[in-house]
Structures are given as structure tokens and as C-alpha cells.
Amino acid sequence: SAVISQKPSRDICQRGTSLTIQCQVDSQVTMMFWYRQQPGQSLTLIATANQGSEATYESGFVIDKFPISRPNLTFSTLTVSNMSPEDSSIYLCSAKGSLTQDTQYFGPGTRLTVL
Amino acid sequence: KQEVTQIPAALSVPEGENLVLNCSFTDSAIYNLQWFRQDPGKGLTSLLLIQSSQREQTSGRLNASLDKSSGRSTLYIAASQPGDSATYLCAVNYGGSQGNLIFGKGTKLSVKP
């Protein structure tokens, strides 16, 4: 299995500011993903974080709004830029591959509230 | 469009009852399917992974089945306990070893003592 940690666990931010969320996996993984879970909803994929190259974004999500880094096989960051109240959500990091094989694991999430 | 549907949206049962949660998917060409549990305000805990070549997987009191031809999976929970109360999410991977998961909206389970 893989243990995934995220920082911060929660934050309250002002409109127009940016927040960077960190994701750390306890073992090397092939794939890392970022999901969003809006209040009362299920999970939606934001992007796949690619090691050493630009992330692959899903329809409706753009790099300028959600820049992602993945400098190595165990770490990734997601930035939520120029935030508005509509960005209030739980953001979850996920990973799979290598030791985890096909099982996909999730971090505890970052609960973001934008005022 | 590839979609995942879970029915019912919510379920309340008395402690000790056996129960079944349902998941259906529109495209049968799946790579694998994964069941998760989510407690309020928490992340997701992986329960079971079923590969497309498998018919079922078991872990303790949990049994997940897969019928690709009908586009369905079920999660069977035996002898339910109050600690089983959570939202259960079904997710389908169509993209292979590098594919991501498409999630259903979940079934919120409440087990009453």
C-alpha cells in the first residue's frame, strides 16, 4: 500500500489569493492525480501530475488556474490560483503504480474555504 | 460518455443486517473497478479492487462482484456494524495502468445500533 500525506489539511483564504497544496507519498509511484470534491458531490479529476513534464488537465480545468508540479516520484503540488468562493472544495491527492500496482490510494484531502 | 451510477444514494439498516450496494457503468470495456469508503470530512480508504478479468474479490466481511457484460458491480457487506457507517464510492478505470478513476456519487450508509 501507499501512505499519502497532504499539507495543509485545511485553510480559509481570501478571494483573489492563491494556495499551494503539497502531497507526499511514502514510496515511489508511477501516477499521481489531483481530484476535487465539491460540497455534497463526488470526486472530479483535475489533472494527472506527470513527473518532469507538464500536467495533463481534464476538460474544464486549466494550467493557469491550477498549476501543478511533480519534481520526483513521491511529491507533487497543486496551486489554486486567484481563488473565488466557487473554489471552496476538498482537494485530494491520489497515487498508484510501482508497489501499489493498480490500486489507487488517496490522501486525507485539503479542505479549502474561500471567503 | 462513460458514467458511473450508484443506487441507492442513501441506505439505513439495523445493525447485523447483510446489505448490498449497487454500482453500474455505461461502458463495459473497463480495466478495473475499485470500491472506496469515505468517512465524513476524510479522504478515501480503498476497500477492494477488481480487475476486469475477475468476477469477485473478498476482504473480511466485504465481497465485491463484477459483471462486465451487464455493466454492474455490487458490494456486499455481511453482518453490518455501526462502524460501517460511511459513504461508499464505486470508481471505474478505463485507461489501463496509467488510467484515472471515474467516480459514482456514492451511497451513504447508516447502520443503526
> Looking at beta carbons, which residues of chain A come within 8 Å of B32?
102
Write out pLDDT tens, residues A68-90: 999 999 999 999 999 999 999 99
Q: How far apart (Å, rounded) are the C-alpha atoms in residues B80 and B84?
A: 7
Per-residue confidence (pLDDT) for residue A66, from 0 to 100: 98
Beta bridge partners of A86: none
As a whole-number percent, the residues of chain A with pLDDT over 70 amount to 98
Q: B62 falls in which pLDDT band (50, 70, 90)?
A: very high
> Looking at beta carbons, which residues of chain B come within 8 Å of A36?
none
> Looking at beta carbons, which residues of chain B come within 8 Å of A30?
97-98
Tell whether the model's pLDDT for residue A100 goes beyond 70.
Answer: no
Q: Does A45 touch chain B (CB under 8 A)?
A: yes
Q: Is the backbone peptide bond immediately before B8 cis, with ω within 30 degrees of 0?
A: yes
Per-residue confidence (pLDDT) for residue A111, from 0 to 100: 96
Write out pLDDT tens, residues B13-40: 999 999 999 999 998 899 999 999 999 8
- State mean pLDDT over B68-88: 97
Concatenating the DSSP letter of every residue in A2-42 gives --EEEE-SEEEE-TT--EEEEEEESS--SEEEEEEE-TT--
